[in-house]
Amino acid sequence: MLDATAPVTTHASPRDRVPPLVPDVEDIQRGYAHLGCEERSVRGTPVRLFTFPHGSRDVSRTVVCLPGLGASGRSFAPMEPLADAYRLLLWTPPLKTPATHTPLQWNLAVLNHPEARLPARFALMGSSYGSLVSIAYALEHPARVKALVLVSPVAGVRRVRRLALTLSTLVRAPRPLAYVFAPTVARVLGGSALPPEARAEIVREARRLSPLELMRRLRDILAADFLHRLGELRVPTLIIEGGRDLLVPPSAARDVAARVPGAELEFLKTASHLPYMSHPQAFNARVSDFLARHLD
């Protein structure tokens, strides 16, 4: 006689297995797992630096890439086609910053510290929160920045949709709510064209960040007020914005471009907040053209 209380074991084939909505922290997605990773201690803070194993080693063509809120440098993996021509350093901000500094202040200090071992001059690419760090760094250390690429730029909170900022905090919702909300947040940020592995990478990495650190970085964005200083920038600047960005409206990108002397503005009409992940071919082509004119 069968025991109705006994568990029933089934053996699903690999194609029938459904991946978890929120991947484990250790689960690195296909297309993102092949990057080299070096951990550097800067001012006593561990910093992860991802690189393409067979990429350029030409220091004069270094591009330091700063990711968005809660993401790691690994999110720039779709930029691999540019790695033959440029030395791409995919920088990950420290997971924890000391209470003595705001996360923005600490990231600026870490980037500029000798222990970071960055070249004397380099190009800087920042996405979303990374763009805020990039703008602040270029204003504070203009002699070190050769060129700027600002993706979905954040320069002043009045041009950022607060609803989307609030939504981003749901990535840190306690389980089981995180299983419901985190993929939704990733879809909002990445748009409908974001591949599943890119969405999973965003969710997986964001879950490494503590709720306190996330809120401290959100406060950096809410306190951001660099719009009035953008006219001080004297560095070649490219601004890339998704036409369907639900966090930074296209009008914000136009405003930033209008304030930065000589800035170039490129819209990817069907992209959202993370065009380098959702539309890598178009994104890479535009960035490659810009860097070829300003890093050669």
Residue 219: give its domain's CATH number: 3.40.50.1820
Whether 214 is covered by a domain: the verdict is yes
What is the reported pLDDT for 6? 40
Whether 5 is covered by a domain: the verdict is no
What is the reported pLDDT for 30? 78
What is the reported pLDDT for 16? 41
Per the structure, the count of domains in the chain is 1
Whether 16 is covered by a domain: the verdict is no
pLDDT band at residue 2 using 50, 70 and 90 as cut-offs: very low
pLDDT band at residue 20 using 50, 70 and 90 as cut-offs: very low
What is the reported pLDDT for 11? 42
Whether 15 is covered by a domain: the verdict is no
* Residue partners of 217: CB distance under 8 A and separation at least 6: 69, 70, 103, 129
Q: 4 or 208, which is more confident? A: 208
Q: What is the pLDDT of residues 215-256, one digit of tens each?
A: 788 888 888 889 999 999 999 999 999 999 888 888 889 999
Q: What is the pLDDT of residues 50-91, one digit of tens each?
A: 999 999 999 999 999 999 887 899 999 999 999 999 999 999
Whether 1 is covered by a domain: the verdict is no
Q: 108 or 207, which is more confident? A: 108
What is the reported pLDDT for 25? 58
Whether 12 is covered by a domain: the verdict is no
Q: What is the pTM of this model?
A: 0.85
Whether 8 is covered by a domain: the verdict is no
What is the reported pLDDT for 246? 81
Q: Is the pLDDT of residue 19 over 50?
A: no
Whether 115 is covered by a domain: the verdict is yes
Q: 265 or 182, which is more confident? A: 265
What is the reported pLDDT for 155? 86
What is the reported pLDDT for 13? 43
The DSSP symbol for 11 reads -
Query: What is the average pLDDT score of the chain?
Result: 84
Domain that holds residue 145: 24-294
Query: Which residue in the block uniquely carries the two structure tokens 């709720």?
Result: 211
Q: Report how far apart the first and last C-alpha atoms of the chain are (Å, whole number).
A: 78
Look at strands 122-127 and 145-151 and give their pairing.
Answer: parallel
Q: What is the mean pLDDT of residues 247-276?
A: 93
SS (H, E, C) 234-292: CCCEEEEEECCCCCCCHHHHHHHHHHCCCCEEEEECCCCCCHHHHCHHHHHHHHHHHHH
